[in-house]
């Protein structure tokens, strides 16, 4: 296993784009997203305070988003009970990934948090887990569409990934 933690002295381009999208949407974007995904076929795990789902436009063969149900800008805003619940949900998700192919699989966990100064009430803490595995022995490689044009092509329907994960999540 290997881990890295990054902290930037600026708001990253992806977060800037997300902030602009949230502003353009208006209202409580993340709250509406959580409510919508609760009843979607891509919902893979729901606890009292968190929801995990495969996003509609997943870029990777395996991609999971885990969000708190209430507005939480970063880890410091979680209660002790929420931290414990989050740890349990995170572990369930990681174990389900390994159960997909009966072996440990490569994955990236990215924790997204709100910027420290501005827009803290608009951006919600989110865990994004991705794996490049298309099948037990097949990796997704970024081709011209993804690398050159930034247009990701889905190898697997998000609903199919969610159905497979639901079968193995415990």
* Catalytic-role residue among 2, 25, 65, 112: 2
User: In the annotation, is 112 catalytic?
Assistant: no
Cα 108 to Cα 93: distance, rounded to the nearest angstrom = 12
Burial label, 134 (beta-carbon count in 10 A; 0-12, 13-18, 19+)? middle
Q: Which residues are catalytic?
A: 2
């Amino acid at each position: 296993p290997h881990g890295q933690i990054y902290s930037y002295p600026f708001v990253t381009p992806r977060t800037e784009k997300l902030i602009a999208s949230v502003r353009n949407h208006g209202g409580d974007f993340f709250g509406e997203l959580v409510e919508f995904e609760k009843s979607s076929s891509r919902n893979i795990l729901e606890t009292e305070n968190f929801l995990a789902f495969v996003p509609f436009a997943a870029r990777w063969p395996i991609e999971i988003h885990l969000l708190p149900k209430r507005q939480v800008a970063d880890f410091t805003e979680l209660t002790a009970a929420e931290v414990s619940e989050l740890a349990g949900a995170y572990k369930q998700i990681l174990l389900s990934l390994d159960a997909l192919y009966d072996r440990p699989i490569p994955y990236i966990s990215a924790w997204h948090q709100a910027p420290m100064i501005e827009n803290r009430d608009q951006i919600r803490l989110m865990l994004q887990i991705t794996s490049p595995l298309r099948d037990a022995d097949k990796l997704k490689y970024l081709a011209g569409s993804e690398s050159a044009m930034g247009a990701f092509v889905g190898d697997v329907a998000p609903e199919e990934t969610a159905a497979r994960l639901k079968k193995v999540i415990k």
